């Protein structure tokens, strides 16, 4: 059975693994990042009109009082995760920040209150700027942090060496950059010659091209469904 390498952090890695199994492949879960939620960084006071979710990783840090307020989410996967976490009204803003900003402007008045944007360090600045230009008050807070692992987990390295990996999934430019760095550092570049790199968008491709992949494929839409549709 063909193996698919998954390098994204938990809990997303396990969710992707379940999807891969459903397609008839064997997942190789080898996260190269570690996620840590920072719930104490988010406000527990009133004055928030809605939550803006650009990543599923921020959901775990959101305090329960936000669940009764509207939430605007990027993509169906984040929408689903927010609803599972207890958010009662989640509005899907499609697959990118621009579409999300346009949706918020249509659905909510700036006078309704402050928008809470929980994100990782250095992320969400462009979305916050666009919303502020539209008259919204935005409270951007670091809700989680992602740290890089210093080496590819043994399971992933062993699978690549065995030649049994048919495809590797890359959900971000950062993951592609770090994966390439880890493989070059470990002298594992040649293990990708029979592997297809499946990228969520065009952006990670520049980094991925440093390795001799069998093929690099790009999802028709920037989401997991479109990525998995490329597995063959």
Q: Per-residue pLDDT averaged across 71-80, rounded? A: 89
pLDDT in tens, 134-172: 999 999 999 999 899 999 999 999 999 999 999 999 999
Indicate whether 47 pLDDT > 90. no
pLDDT in tens, 193-227: 999 999 999 999 999 999 999 999 999 988 899 99
Total tally of structural domains belonging to the chain: 2
Q: Identify whether residues 131 and 172 lie together within a single domain.
A: no
The contacts of residue 218 (CB under 8 Å, 6+ apart) are 199, 200, 201, 202, 205
Q: Identify whether residues 93 and 193 lie together within a single domain.
A: no
Among residues 94, 118, 146, the one where a domain terminates is: 146
Residue 41: pLDDT band (50, 70, 90) is confident
Q: Identify whether residues 100 and 179 lie together within a single domain.
A: no
CA dist., res. 154 & res. 134, Å (int): 48
Cβ atoms < 10 Å from Cβ of 84: 11
Instruction: Give pLDDT, residue 56.
Output: 87
pLDDT in tens, 4-40: 999 999 888 999 999 999 999 999 999 999 988 887 8
What is the rounded average pLDDT for all residues in the chain?
Answer: 92
Q: Identify whether residues 49 and 139 lie together within a single domain.
A: yes
Strand partners, 49: none
Q: Identify whether residues 18 and 71 lie together within a single domain.
A: no
Q: Identify whether residues 48 and 121 lie together within a single domain.
A: yes
What CATH number is attached to the domain comprising 222? 3.40.50.10090
Q: Identify whether residues 19 and 84 lie together within a single domain.
A: no
The contacts of residue 119 (CB under 8 Å, 6+ apart) are 54, 55, 58, 140, 141, 142, 143, 144
CA dist., res. 72 & res. 107, Å (int): 10
Q: Identify whether residues 21 and 41 lie together within a single domain.
A: no
Residues shown for the chain: 232
10 is in which domain, residue-wise?
3-32+149-228
């Amino acid at each position: 059975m063909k193996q698919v390498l998954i390098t994204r952090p938990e809990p997303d890695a396990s969710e992707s693994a379940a999807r891969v199994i459903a397609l008839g492949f064997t997942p190789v879960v080898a996260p190269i990042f570690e996620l840590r939620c920072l719930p104490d960084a988010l406000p527990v006071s009133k004055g928030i009109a809605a939550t803006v979710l650009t990543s599923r990783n921020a959901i775990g840090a959101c305090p329960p009082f936000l669940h009764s307020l509207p939430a605007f989410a990027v993509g169906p996967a984040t929408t689903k995760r927010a609803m599972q976490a207890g958010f009662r009204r989640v509005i899907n803003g499609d697959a990118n920040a621009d579409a999300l900003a346009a949706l918020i402007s249509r659905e909510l008045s700036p006078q309704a209150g402050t928008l809470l944007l929980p994100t990782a360090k250095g992320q969400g600045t462009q979305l916050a700027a666009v919303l502020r230009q539209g008259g919204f008050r935005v409270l951007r807070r670091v809700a989680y942090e992602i740290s890089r692992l210093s080496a590819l987990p043994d399971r992933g390295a062993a699978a690549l060496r065995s030649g049994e990996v048919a495809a590797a999934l890359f959900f971000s430019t950062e993951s592609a950059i770090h994966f390439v760095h880890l493989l070059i550092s470990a002298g594992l570049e040649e293990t990708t010659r029979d592997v297809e790199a499946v990228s969520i968008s065009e952006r990670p491709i520049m980094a991925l091209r440093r390795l001799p992949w069998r093929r690099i494929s790009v999802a028709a839409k920037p989401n997991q469904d479109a990525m998995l549709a490329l597995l063959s």
